[in-house]
C-alpha cells in the first residue's frame, strides 16, 4: 500500500460541488481507499487574474495502484467533470487533480513529477496538505513539510472555508 496525497482545485461550474464530486469518485477507485480529506480553501487565482477564485483541498489515499495507473484514473475523473485542456497556460478549469506525493517515491518523467514540482511555492496546496500530515512530515526528497510551510509566500487571499461548505466522509 502506498500512502498518496492528491491536490484538488476548481474555479469553474460550482467549485465546491466539483470537489465534492471528485472526492466521491476518488472514494470509488479500484484498489484504493480514501483515508482523509482536508478542509476546503478559497483563494485568488495564482497566474492570470481575470478568472474566478479557486477552491482547493487535499486528499489522502492508500492505494496499490501504480502512480501512472492512478494518474490515468485522475485524468479520467477530470475529463468526466468537464475538464477541457486549453492552450492557455494557467487558465481556469472545472477540476484539477494532482498527485502531490506518492509514498516515498521520487518520479520525474514526461507525465509525472512527484513530489509535485510547484507545491513548495503554493500555499493553496501546502495548507490543505498540512491538514492531513503531521507537522514533522518528511517528503521523499528529504524536505520537511513544516519548512515548506514556513518558507512559502504568504497568500493574504487564502481562506479556510467553514466545514459545512466542505464534504465530510
Neighbours of 65 (CB within 10 A): 18
Interaction of residue 124 with ligand ROI, rule CB under 6 A: yes
Q: What are phi and psi of 67, to 5 degrees?
A: -60, -40
Nearer to ligand ROI, 65 or 125 (CB): 125
User: If we measure between CA atoms, which residue out of 112, 115, 99, 125 comes closest to residue 46?
Assistant: 125
Interaction of residue 5 with ligand ROI, rule CB under 6 A: no
Nearer to ligand ROI, 134 or 154 (CB): 154
Does the CA dihedral 91-8-124-43 come out positive or negative? positive
Distance CA 58, CA 62 (A): 13
The nearest distance, CB 129 to ligand ROI, in angstroms, is: 13
Nearer to ligand ROI, 45 or 115 (CB): 45
Concerning whether 98 is annotated as a catalytic residue, the answer is yes
Concerning whether 96 is annotated as a catalytic residue, the answer is yes
User: If we measure between CA atoms, which residue out of 13, 70, 46, 43 comes closest to residue 127?
Assistant: 43
Distance CA 45, CA 136 (A): 29
Q: Are 43 and 56 in contact (CB under 8 A)?
A: yes
The nearest distance, CB 156 to ligand ROI, in angstroms, is: 12
Interaction of residue 46 with ligand ROI, rule CB under 6 A: yes
Q: Grid coordinates 496525497 are at which residue? A: 5
Interaction of residue 123 with ligand ROI, rule CB under 6 A: no
Binding test (CB under 6 A) with ligand ROI, winner from 4, 5, 9, 139: 9
List the catalytic residue out of 96, 131, 155, 160: 96
Give catalytic residue positions: 83, 93, 96, 98
Q: Binding residues for ligand ROI, per CB under 6 A?
A: 9, 43, 45-47, 54, 56, 90, 96, 124
Amino acid at each position: 500500500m502506498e500512502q498518496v496525497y492528491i491536490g484538488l482545485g476548481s474555479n469553474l461550474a460550482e467549485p465546491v460541488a466539483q470537489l465534492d464530486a471528485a472526492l466521491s469518485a476518488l472514494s470509488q477507485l479500484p484498489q484504493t481507499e480514501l483515508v482523509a480529506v482536508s478542509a476546503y480553501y478559497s483563494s485568488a487565482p495564482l497566474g492570470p487574474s481575470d478568472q474566478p477564485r479557486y477552491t482547493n483541498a487535499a486528499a489522502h489515499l492508500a492505494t496499490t495502484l501504480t502512480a501512472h495507473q492512478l494518474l490515468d484514473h485522475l485524468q479520467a475523473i477530470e475529463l468526466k467533470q468537464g475538464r477541457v485542456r486549453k492552450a492557455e497556460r494557467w487558465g481556469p478549469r472545472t477540476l484539477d487533480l494532482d498527485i502531490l506525493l506518492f509514498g516515498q517515491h521520487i518520479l520525474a518523467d514526461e507525465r509525472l513529477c512527484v513530489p509535485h514540482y510547484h507545491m513548495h511555492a503554493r500555499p493553496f496546496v501546502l495548507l490543505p496538505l498540512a491538514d492531513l500530515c503531521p507537522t514533522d512530515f518528511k517528503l521523499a526528497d528529504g524536505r520537511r513539510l513544516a519548512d515548506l510551510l514556513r518558507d512559502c509566500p504568504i497568500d493574504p487571499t487564502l481562506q479556510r472555508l467553514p466545514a459545512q461548505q466542505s464534504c465530510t466522509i
